Amino acid sequence: MRPTYLEVNLSQLKQNLENIRKHVSPAKVLVVLKANAYGHGVDGVAPFIAPFADYIGVAIVEEGIHLRKLGIATPILVMGGTLPEQLPDFFEYDLTLAASSLDLLTAAEQLAESTRKRLKVHLKVDTGMERLGVREYEAEPLIEKSMACSHLEMEGIFTHFANAETSSLRGRFCSSPEAISNFVGDCFGERASPRNDEGFVESSLQLERFEEVLSIYEKRSEPHPPIRHTANSGAALLLPESHYDMVRPGILFYGVYPAREIEKNIDVKPALTWKSKVAYSKVTLPGRAVSYGSLWQAEARTRIVTIPCGYADGYFRRMTNQARVLINGKSYPQVGRICMDQFMVNVGEDGVSVGDEVILFGNGITAEELADWTGTNEYEVLTSIGARVPRVFVQIA
């Protein structure tokens, strides 16, 4: 096997899920496995975790099909945008549709009628993300149409927060839709600026809008869909009113918090360790430059070692002369421009040899640090780890 690989602790993922479930109970838990399980390797993660999840979430229909071909029987919600021509795949592979428009819902009903097959549907409402879904003030026609769809099973209704991870949510929970409405009114009234407590105001406003949509069912004396869900990782942590019937942890399930300032009130830990080995070792003389562009040169006689991993693997070029790795448990600086397939590390006068283990991520090197070195966020760090990096799945309690 290639000496650069990811070690994924499945036992830690299961523990993360159990701790999230305890925190949000009695709500169900949808585990988000999109983007190759946030870079962890869906082929290994999904078969292990699916029996413990109430629902699985993916972004695109191809991800859902892949899970079914892996033998996953757990319900799968395709949360991203879907074109009408993709609808046959939902029927063939028993996938749940996020109906984000009246046209898509109508097309699904017509196909269900013609094929005499039923399809589970979750209505998607846009309460402030401006990405997918009908806006809350345009939701009534969609809901009316859904009530008339006799060939579809209206299983759920959901929205997505734009700022749920903001730390100002902490300690500002509202106990009812009326309290949410009153708080939002205060924030947009004379006593406060619309930008004060921004994340909490916007999330509370989104909750108020979602409640307005749910009230449409009450006005018609119709039961709302049995699964209402709004909470991503941030809201699962900070906004208990948003838990409803199901929560959708993404990055939190993988042991990384969605924002650094959030109080860690759920015990989750990273399940990923990115490992490699020293492939080459040489002593570099003073004044000799290292790698493309000659961005770093030795000031004194020093040992430079080469690691067989580069930006084609997701070890970003932007981390050049900023990143650090662990070799034999000691931290060393990366030096010289990171190459497509390799990068170099300055180990000084230490006796580092070819074959010694190198830790690129994990064991104290955090996703937050890689994000800082790269100038991005933790989500991109995880999901950018390349497909050519082997995933090794272990169970370590």
Q: Give the CA angle between residues 256, 262, 268 to the nearest 5°.
A: 35
Contact 157, 146 (CB under 8 A): no
Catalytic residue, chosen from 34, 120, 275, 277, is 34
Helices (H), 116-242: 139-148, 177-187, 198-219, 233-238
Contact 30, 221 (CB under 8 A): no
Cα separation, 206 vs 196, whole angstroms: 16
The pTM assigned to this predicted structure is: 0.90
The secondary element (H helix, E strand) that includes residue 34 is helix 34-38
Place of tokens 């149409």: 145
The three-state secondary structure class of 208 is helix
Catalytic residue, chosen from 22, 137, 292, 330, is 292
Cα separation, 134 vs 140, whole angstroms: 9
Which residues make beta-bridge pairs with 176?
A: none
Cα separation, 181 vs 307, whole angstroms: 56
Is 34 among the catalytic positions? yes
DSSP conformation class of 292? G
The three-state secondary structure class of 313 is helix
Is 292 among the catalytic positions? yes
pLDDT single digits (tens) 139-194? 999 999 999 999 999 999 999 999 887 644 443 434 444 544 454 444 434 333 33
Q: What domains sit in the chain, N to C, each tagged with a CATH number? A: 79-247 (3.20.20.10), 272-394 (2.40.37.10)
Provide the residue-wise pLDDT of the chain in tens; the chain has 397 residues.
Answer: 899 999 999 999 999 999 999 999 999 999 999 999 999 999 999 999 999 999 999 999 999 999 999 999 999 999 999 999 999 999 999 999 999 999 999 999 999 999 999 999 999 999 999 999 999 999 999 999 999 999 999 999 999 999 887 644 443 434 444 544 454 444 434 333 333 355 557 888 999 999 999 999 999 999 999 999 999 999 999 999 999 999 999 999 999 999 988 888 999 999 999 999 999 999 999 999 999 999 999 999 999 999 999 999 999 999 999 999 999 999 999 999 999 999 999 999 999 999 999 999 999 999 999 999 999 999 999 999 999 999 999 999 8
